[in-house]
Chain A
Amino acid sequence: MRPPFFNRTPTFEHGIHPRYHKETGHLPIKRFPFAPKLYVSLEQHIGKPAIAIVQVGQEVLRGEIIAKADGLFSLPIHAPATGIIEALEPMPSDNGEMEMCIVIRVHEADTQEVQVRYPHDLENLRGRELALVMQEIGVAGKGGATFPTHAKLIPPNGCTIDTIIVNGVECEPYLTCDHRLMLERAHDVMVGIHYARRVCGAPRAIIAVEDNKLDAVAALEAALPTDGSVSVKVVATKYPQGAAETLIKALLGREVPAGKRSSAVGVVMNNVMTLAYVGRLLPLGEGMTERVLTIAGPSVERPGNYIVPIGTPLRFLLEYAGARGTANEIILGGPMMGTTIPSVDVPITKGVCGVLVFGNKEAETAQIYPCIHCGECVNVCPKKLNPTQLGLLAAKREYDVMAESFLLGECFECGCCSYVCPSHIPLVQQFRVAKYFLKHREKVT
Chain B
Amino acid sequence: MSKHRIELRAAPHQHSGHSVPTIMRNVVYSMLPICGFSVWQYGLSALVLLLTVTATCLATERLLNRNANTLGDWSAAITGILLGLTLPPAFPLWMGIVASFVAIAIGKAMFGGLGHNPFNPALIGRAFVQAAFPVAITTWVPAFSANRFSEFVPTTFTAPLMIPPDIVGWVKQQGVDAFTGATPLARWKFENVTASAHDLLTGAVTASAGETSALLILACGAYLALRKFMDWRIPVAVLGTAALTAWAFQLYDPAHYPAPLFVLLSGGLMIGAIYMATDMATSPVTPVGVWLYGGIIGVMTVIIRYFGGLTEGVMYAILLGNALTPLIDRYTQPRVYGTAKDKP
Contact = CB atoms under 8 A, between A and B. Distances in A.
B337 A382 contact: yes
Nearest to A18: B14
B182 interface: no
B337 A255 contact: yes
B114 A370 contact: yes
Contacts of B10: 340, 426, 428-429, 432
Nearest to A374: B280
A257 B338 CA distance: 4
A8 to B, nearest CB: 20
Interface in B290-327: 290
5 contacts: A327-B4, A328-B4, A331-B11, A369-B20, A378-B286
A423 B20 contact: yes
Contacts of B116: 370
B115 A375 contact: no
Interface stretch (A38-46, A98-106, A411-419): A411-419
A2 interface: no
A328 B20 contact: no
Interface residues of B, number: 46
B132 to A, nearest CB: 29
Given A328-B4, A373-B280, A383 B336 contact: yes
Contact of A419 (B14, B19, B284): B14
Contact of A340 (B2, B7, B282, B334): B7
B11 A410 contact: no
A323 B1 CA distance: 7
A interface majority secondary structure: loop
A335 B13 contact: yes
Contacts of A372: 20, 23, 114-115, 280-281
A330 interface: yes
Contact of B22 (A318, A327, A358, A422): A422
A369 B19 CA distance: 9
Contacts of B66: none
Nearest to B115: A370
A406 interface: yes
Interface stretch (A60-68, A149-157, A385-393): A385-393
Contacts of A370: 112-116
B216 to A, nearest CB: 25
A4 interface: no
Contact of A385 (B4, B14, B281, B336): B336
A342 B16 contact: no
A302 interface: no
Contact of A329 (B9, B16, B113, B333): B9
A421 to B, nearest CB: 8
A315 B4 CA distance: 12
Contacts of A419: 12, 14-16
Interface in A411-445: 413, 415, 418-420, 422-424, 426, 428-429, 432
B23 A405 contact: no
B20 A373 contact: no
Contact of A255 (B9, B20, B23, B338): B338
A335 B14 contact: yes
Nearest to A343: B6
Contacts of A410: 336-339
A396 interface: no
Closest 5 CB pairs of A and B: A375-B285, A415-B12, A429-B10, A370-B115, A258-B338
Contact of B11 (A255, A337, A379): A337
A345 to B, nearest CB: 10
A418 to B, nearest CB: 5
Interface in A347-397: 356, 358, 362-363, 366-367, 369-376, 378-379, 382-386, 388-389
A50 interface: no
B70 to A, nearest CB: 9
B227 interface: no
A419 B19 CA distance: 11
B339 A407 contact: yes
A311 to B, nearest CB: 19
Contact of A344 (B2, B18, B336): B2
Q: Which of A260, A422, A426 has the most CB of B within 10 A?
A: A422
A413 B29 CA distance: 36
Nearest to A371: B115
B8 interface: yes
Given A369-B73, A369-B115, A372-B115, A428 B11 contact: yes
B13 A422 contact: no
A383 B337 CA distance: 5
Given A245-B338, A341-B6, A373 B16 contact: no
B268 to A, nearest CB: 23
B329 interface: yes
A258 B339 contact: yes
Given A318-B1, A370-B114, A413-B11, A330 B6 contact: yes
Nearest to A414: B12
A328 B73 CA distance: 29
B95 to A, nearest CB: 29
Nearest to B231: A375
A339 interface: yes
Given A340-B8, A422-B18, A384 B335 contact: yes
Contacts of A432: 10
